[in-house]
Each structure stands twice: as structure tokens, then as C-alpha cells.
Structure 1
């Protein structure tokens, strides 16, 4: 996988205790990397990272603490950094806007500044979001050259994060022999192990466990849904290109699903109910803060230049998501490693570039 480029390589993940970060830590360990994590201590029960029981160095640090973060980064001395630590929730950003900007913008600046002194660093992948674009509610997907923006504080903070990363890239990185820096923007991610508050599938799982119907806000809102392993394969493909000194990869990249993955909230719930009859929902009558109704990504650039493409279809991603939670609730078993193995096998069978044995 990834031409064995991660085997024996020192990798730092910020946000490793989160949903995406924990899956990435699992995958990098299976690829043979020497993983170090920096994140807040898990404050939710259950927690996917704790469930995985991974054996790697871990520092529980707030990335707003510049001195503590610098010390941890220096100690880890990574060759590649994946920056995922963030305040990731739209609705929380309305309640805590200053904390959201401080974490997502200044936290990123703190990390990139700490990385400037690392002698062995080859690559930095800063993860933002599809919501970093100025959303005009149009019917075609956003491209990397489209304007950044953001109505809510979360989206605006991620647009600002992109600007911070671009500034550091042009000012301090990408010089001859220096580290290459890129940003990655993914769609709405689903998959087992997400227990975030105020997020569709975790809220649905909690409702199922409590034998209740989930109250949903916007059944017709459309999002680019993708399984968590899809965007992670994109991040790892991008990291490989940066380590291989491909200067053209030091840029912004979309990693979204094919057009068939752009579905409404109601369509996603209907697909989940097909695999999980206990899934039920009802429409909320409350007034809620603004959220985008239509959002799509154009990932043509990553498909053409990085040769990246999704592995699982929308239905396949929904199926394995439902299976992960059902197996946990009904049998008490965590199937993350099994699903990762199945994903890699499928990628190999479909002859995807990153999964080839060349």
C-alpha cells in the first residue's frame, strides 16, 4: 500500500483521539509507521481511539498551548505530519465562536510554526473541510480554485485555516529540500466509531440504542457523503506524493465521492434503515441556526493528477457503517481493523494506484 512509503517512517497525527484521527492512527500503524499523536484527551464515552487500544506515543495537549505543542512536536521529530485537530462541529461553533477560531486558526498556526524547526520533516497535510468554500448553493461541485468563505464560524474558521496554511507554505515551506505542505478538503464523512455530539449518524445510533426516533432538522439537505476510509486514502495518497518530492502536490486538494454519493439526509437515513430496521426518524419543528442546504465537491483534480479515486460506492459505505454500529451494539465487538482490511482488499482488486504492489 502506498508503495510502502510509510513503513518505518515517523508520523505525527494531531487530533488522533477523534473520529478521523483514530482511523488514521490505526491505518498508519498497519502500514508500519512509527506514530505519535497529539490531541485533547478523549472526553466522550465511548471513544473509538480508546476502543482500538493502539500502541503508540500519545500527548494530550491543547493545540492552542503553543509551548506545550512545540515541545511535543520537537520530541516526536516527525517526517510527516497529518494535522486533523480541530473544533469540528458547525452548531457548536455558533455557541463557542471564539474557541472555534482560536483552535482551528491559531492552533494550526502554532503547529506550522513548530514544524519550521524540524530538520527531518518532509511533508505536512493540513486537513480542512468541504465547508471552507463560499457556499452559493449551486448545483455543481466546488473546485479548489473557487473562493473560500463560510457563513457559520466553523466554516469561516476552516477557510481561514486554508489561508494560514497557504501563507506558511509560501513563506516558510516548499523551499529546495524543505518540507512540502498541502491542504485536503473532504466531504461529509460517515463510518463506525464516530461518537461526536450533534452529528447525524452518532445521534442516530444513540437514538437506536435508546429505542427512540431521531429528530432531524433538514431532511432535504444534500451532502457529499463518503466513508471515513475514502478521505483517509486521499490524505495518505497526498502524503505519499509530498514525501516523494512532487512539488505540484503542495497545493489544495478535494477528496470527495462520485456524484452518486451526493445524497439528501433523508436518502442516507433510508439507506441505513435498509440494513438496520431499528432506524427511525422524525422531522424537528424547532428553529435551528443556518446550515447549507446544498453542497458538492468536484474532485477531478485529485483523480487526474494524484490518480486517487473512491473505493466503496455510497451504498457500500452505508452498509459497512451500519454493520460497524450494529456489531458493537449487539455483540460488543469493534470491527474497525476488519473493515480496514476489507477496504484495502477491495482497493487492490479494483487495481487502484495507491493499492498496487509496484
Structure 2
């Protein structure tokens, strides 16, 4: 299949393109305008520019599209809601319009987010039928983009499938996200570039983590086997506190550090617990193959891996 991947230069996008190529698919990478020149074979455009999106779709002639491009930071979305909606919502609408006009039979996977559910009662898992309760511009923009995808499916027959990924980890994630932020601090401490103090936000929040390789494998499956008009969670179904993840990183790295709350790292509207149900995705045959521990080792990197069996270093 000839697949157009928007946001191909992002964290999940890079892993996804590698998987698609390894699976025999032809990949057309679409990067943001700031990435121009980094990959001579990629299409470079602003997803919020309707004419540019139309031109890219006409050039790519895709049989399938996985739409990853977007404003990805929940925390930073509070500071620039207008840009978040321009990219995440209007950008999605631009893509849907271009596909309807230039490639109406193209299968489309729109990547939303588990953040749209808002707070989920601790001990329970969000199913796709749970009404959304967005608590950030990021989550609200994703819900609006989902609605656009559903409308284009119902009104025009565009085969749109929706994915709601929860937290995913692995090599190459931006250090502004919580786990790579911990890793960067641990690395600086281990190298003697920082005092042994690890600054964090809310460690009591409970999240659902997966390895990025399992997440992108789910994307490929949903592009080909997902039912148009349907929504699928992409998650592990396992609850982990941020504190537990950090403690595992400390043990894996062998670094000792004192943990200190940094008020600047707290979100304006924190979600105490957010865990999803993967049952609908598993019914399509998806099974995770990589562990969160493997993902944490990749995030830490080769310079921060304690020897197997090494004792934990508690802060």
C-alpha cells in the first residue's frame, strides 16, 4: 500500500515509517515546514495551510493516510489554544477536504488521543463509548478533529478510522514529555553536570503506558483492518503511577537522586487517572510485543543502563 504519513518527522512518525517500510509498504513522508531540507524525498508543508495540504495529497496519490501531524503537548496547549486548534482541528479538516476531492477512496487513520476522556475513575478503564470530557485545548482540539472525521465518513463515505492512543514511550521522544525529561535529568546527574536533584511535576497521576513500537503496529493494523467510522483505543490497559515509572528509571539507571516537586511542571488541569481498555483493538488481533521496561531502557540510552541484577538506588 502507498501510505502518506503526516507528522512523519515526529516521535511516533519515525517509528511508524520504519515499520511500514519493513512491512513492504511504500511510504510518502510529510514533514512540517520547519523540517524542509532534512529529507529531500519528503513533502514539507504546514498542515494548517489548506492549499499546501491539497497540493501534497495530489502529489502523493496515497492509498492510505495515517494522520499524525499536530500540536502534541498537552501542557503547552494551554498557552496557545488558537494555534492548537488551527493545527489539530483545522489541519485535519484541510486533509479531509483534500482527500475527499482528490482521493475519495483512500483509507484514513486519524490519530486522536486518550486525553479526550478526561478523568477516568481510578481502578476503571475507559472504553470507546465513554463520553469525552476534555480538560485542555489539546484534548478539545482532538475531539473536534474526531467529529470532522466522523462527519466526512457519514456524509461523503470517506473511509475514516479513529485511533485514541494513550501514553507511549521509546527512543526519540521530545524531552519536554515527562519520561524523557526524567531521563535527561538523570543523564545530567550521572555526568556530573547537575546536582543530584530530580525535579518533577505530579507523581501521583496514574497513566497507561505502551512501547511506541506496539503503538505504531496498532496504527498499521487499524489502517488496513479498522472499521471506518469506528474509534479504537491504543493502550495497554495497565495502570502505572508516574512515581512508579520514575522509581523504575532510577533502578534501571543506577542513579541516586533526591526528588523535588517543581510547581512550574504542574498542569493547570491535571487528570488524576487515565487508563484505557484495549479490548476492541485486541479483537482485531493486536497484541503488544514490547515491554514498558524495554521502552524505559531505550529512553535512558546506553550510558544510563545499570547492569542486570544491579541493586536499586533509592532517592
- The answer to whether the Cα contact below 8 Å between 2:200 and 2:260 also exists between their aligned partners in 1 is yes
Q: CA deviation at 1:324?
A: 5.3
- The answer to whether the Cα contact below 8 Å between 1:238 and 1:249 also exists between their aligned partners in 2 is no
- The answer to whether the Cα contact below 8 Å between 1:16 and 1:22 also exists between their aligned partners in 2 is yes
- The answer to whether the Cα contact below 8 Å between 1:80 and 1:124 also exists between their aligned partners in 2 is yes
The counterpart of 2:171, out of the listed 189, 192, 197, is: 192
- The answer to whether the Cα contact below 8 Å between 1:149 and 1:159 also exists between their aligned partners in 2 is no
What residue is the counterpart of 1:272 in the other structure? 249
Q: CA deviation at 1:36?
A: 1.1
Residues 44-72 of structure 1 show CA distances to partners (whole Å, capped at 9, x for unaligned) of xxxxxx7xxxx783122110011011101
Q: CA deviation at 1:254?
A: 0.7
Q: CA deviation at 1:203?
A: 1.1
What residue is the counterpart of 1:234 in the other structure? 218
TM normalised by structure 1 equals 0.77
The counterpart of 1:326, out of the listed 292, 295, 301, is: 301
The counterpart of 1:254, out of the listed 214, 233, 249, is: 233
The counterpart of 1:181, out of the listed 160, 185, 197, is: 160
1:99 aligns with 2:83: yes
Q: CA deviation at 1:201?
A: 1.8
What residue is the counterpart of 1:83 in the other structure? 67
What residue is the counterpart of 1:165 in the other structure? 149
TM normalised by structure 2 equals 0.86
Residues 1-358 of structure 1 mapped to structure 2, 5 A cutoff: 9-41=1-33, 57-119=41-103, 121-174=105-158, 180-197=159-176, 199-211=177-189, 212=194, 213-242=197-226, 248-259=227-238, 262-278=239-255, 280=257, 282-286=259-263, 288=266, 289-304=268-283, 306-312=284-290, 316-323=291-298, 325-327=300-302, 329=303
Over aligned residues, Cα RMSD in angstroms?
2.2
| Structure 2 residue runs without a partner (length 5+) | 306-315
Residues 200/241 of structure 1: CA separation in 2 closer, same or farther (3 Å cut): same
- The answer to whether the Cα contact below 8 Å between 1:191 and 1:320 also exists between their aligned partners in 2 is yes
Q: Distance in 1 between matches of 2:256 and 2:26?
A: 40
Structure 1 counterpart SS, 2:274:
coil
| Structure 1 residue runs without a partner (length 5+) | 1-8, 44-49, 175-179, 243-247, 332-358
Residues 73-130 of structure 1 show CA distances to partners (whole Å, capped at 9, x for unaligned) of 1100000000001101111111111101111100000011111123474310000110
Q: Distance in 2 between matches of 1:63 and 1:273?
A: 39
- The answer to whether the Cα contact below 8 Å between 1:272 and 1:279 also exists between their aligned partners in 2 is no
Q: Distance in 2 between matches of 1:279 and 1:235?
A: 38
Residues 149/99 of structure 1: CA separation in 2 closer, same or farther (3 Å cut): same
- The answer to whether the Cα contact below 8 Å between 1:132 and 1:149 also exists between their aligned partners in 2 is yes
What residue is the counterpart of 1:337 in the other structure? none
Residues 132-161 of structure 1 show CA distances to partners (whole Å, capped at 9, x for unaligned) of 124354431111111123111111111112
- The answer to whether the Cα contact below 8 Å between 1:13 and 1:83 also exists between their aligned partners in 2 is yes
Q: How many residues align?
A: 295
Residues 203-243 of structure 1 show CA distances to partners (whole Å, capped at 9, x for unaligned) of 1222133224431111110000111111111111111215x
